A and B are shown apart, each in its own frame.
Chain A
């Protein structure tokens, strides 16, 4: 006979400092915990701040810009012998084509954001789909998909982007597809390997033992626990994408319409007057660097916030 059945004993309940307490009735999910860690991280605050400014500028470019974009009003202020620098009318001076530099930079943010986000989303979705199929189903599906991904990966990403952009013609959309395609292998491999390691964990075994359907195990258990590194990678890739947009534009593979401001192309156009007006290349360059830094900082902070080792 048992003297004190355990179920009636006060089991390690309300006394426990990390157990349930009366004040906070709702539990704290891991996502919530990650969010709180993120909020306390100065790196995330700086990165997030840069990103917020960037998105704000991109969204409200027409309201923020002091002049009309791609205006040729001040062509005479930008000649091979003289380029108007910063003055009271033009805070950052005049660009190569005689437009207001600040206006062009502000509109350039818009272009960079659209191309960066869309191309990363293309890479993320295509990559995540392939990765989920490969990591979730395994076997032959895995082999076929991963060989395809390996082929993609064996082509240098910039070369791949150039080929796609060349094949599709010069347009913003081509640029997005090109940059996105180059990111597919990164996401596919990352998600697959995280899913494979998660699928060997005990809770997946437990889900199998409970008789859960395979679809539910993959989508309800393995995938949510594998997303963390992919989210981090996507943030970091946004930075790379923005740099690649600039690089491809620099190589002349970007948007065909010269009226559309784009940071990479602004660097190129500034080149022939670099001797007399280095800021023509410097300003767009610094914009690219700061934006990429912002996304990288945020990505690193996310990595720390989502890292399981940070959990107690």
Chain B
């Protein structure tokens, strides 16, 4: 079986090198697998042999639809998966320290201090009966040993930093008194309270309106760029990663199927799933009448990876071998790709020429 490679013409810009990051990655995820087991049911491989690295200051996007395993990956890194019924295998190395199997107390200290996370729903991630000020000062007191007065001053500073108007008054507010966008800002303030080295944002703008989403994305961009804080952005929205991430990993059914530097990925998607996603979303900057090319089937129509390519049942390029052998994630064309029959033409341009 030969895999056909098309000599890649990098269409634009050389690979961006991020200065001053050193060679050692901050986070190295190696062969991470998460399996949910439930009595009387077949085990579900939510995350399957996922490996990637994040350097200090780097912004990495993890893109996928529901069931792709992107959120489970982030919860596994943070050690936030439930104890019962979950098997976690593989390694998550954070600056030389192994996070998988780490004892609860050490993990608790790392979380908030070195690793922080922002969740999708700002209402349910904030405690409704405690003022936002106290929710911030709690973190400061615990991880930075500040006394009450200092913690309060610092909390006001943090709220100012995340763009909350009238922060001195807002520290006394309860979460329900704030709008959705404000709550997400508070969550970001809490996450950044101890200047973590890695910030994981799990669909941080999905619950928000477009104009508020733009505010939050701009805020994240401002806060992490220029600092040494690394960002792992988890989203289903290709638009969000296009503007924010240096490197993008596309996940499907628990595995990474394509990862590349963002410009290369968007300029020339090679995996049929990546290409299919891009061709199926309407774009604001294109004239009307460009037809959409949907991906047939639904994300639940998968083949187990052990039998072949999970995307094969929905893939326009799939052939017999896709259902018999499991493709490996191999370097190709300035990227890593898991496909026997990668795209040779851009599915978006096919649609455009027929318009």
Q: What's the nearest-Cβ distance from chain B to residue A33, in Å?
A: 15
Q: Which A residues touch B350, using CB under 8 A?
A: 3
Q: Do A12 and B293 touch across chains, with their CB atoms under 8 A apart?
A: no
Q: What's the nearest-Cβ distance from chain B to residue A131, in Å?
A: 32
Q: Which B residues touch A11, using CB under 8 A?
A: 296-297
* A-side interface residues, number (CB < 8 Å): 16
Tell me, yes or no, whether A211 is within 8 Å of chain B by CB: no
Q: Do B351 and A16 touch across chains, with their CB atoms under 8 A apart?
A: no
Roughly how many angstroms separate A12 CA and B355 CA in the complex, as a whole number? Answer: 26
Roughly how many angstroms separate A255 CA and B293 CA in the complex, as a whole number? Answer: 77
* B-side interface residues, number (CB < 8 Å): 14
Tell me, yes or no, whether B298 is within 8 Å of chain A by CB: yes
Roughly how many angstroms separate A18 CA and B302 CA in the complex, as a whole number? Answer: 11
Q: Which of B287-338 contact A (CB under 8 A)?
A: 291, 293-294, 296-298, 300-301, 313
Q: Which B residues touch A6, using CB under 8 A?
A: 294
Q: Do A10 and B297 touch across chains, with their CB atoms under 8 A apart?
A: yes
Q: What's the nearest-Cβ distance from chain B to residue A235, in Å?
A: 25
Q: Which B residues touch A16, using CB under 8 A?
A: 297-298, 300-301
Tell me, yes or no, whether A4 is within 8 Å of chain B by CB: yes
User: Pick the contact of A9 from B291, B296, B301, B355 — CB < 8 Å?
Assistant: B296
Roughly how many angstroms separate A1 CA and B297 CA in the complex, as a whole number? Answer: 21
Q: Which of A1-49 contact B (CB under 8 A)?
A: 1-4, 6, 9-13, 15-19, 40
User: Pick the contact of A12 from B40, B291, B297, B351 — CB < 8 Å?
Assistant: B297
Roughly how many angstroms separate A10 CA and B297 CA in the complex, as a whole number? Answer: 7
Q: Do A12 and B354 touch across chains, with their CB atoms under 8 A apart?
A: no
Q: Do B291 and A3 touch across chains, with their CB atoms under 8 A apart?
A: yes
Q: Which B residues touch A40, using CB under 8 A?
A: 40
Q: Do A10 and B296 touch across chains, with their CB atoms under 8 A apart?
A: yes
Binding site for A on B (CB under 8 A): 40, 291, 293-294, 296-298, 300-301, 313, 350-351, 354-355
A-B contact pairs, 19 of them (CB 8 A): A1-B291, A1-B354, A3-B293, A3-B350, A3-B354, A4-B293, A6-B294, A9-B294, A11-B296, A11-B297, A12-B296, A12-B297, A12-B301, A15-B301, A16-B301, A17-B300, A17-B301, A19-B300, A40-B40
Binding site for B on A (CB under 8 A): 1-4, 6, 9-13, 15-19, 40
- Which 6 residue pairs spanning A and B have beta carbons closest together? A12-B298, A15-B301, A9-B296, A2-B291, A12-B297, A15-B313
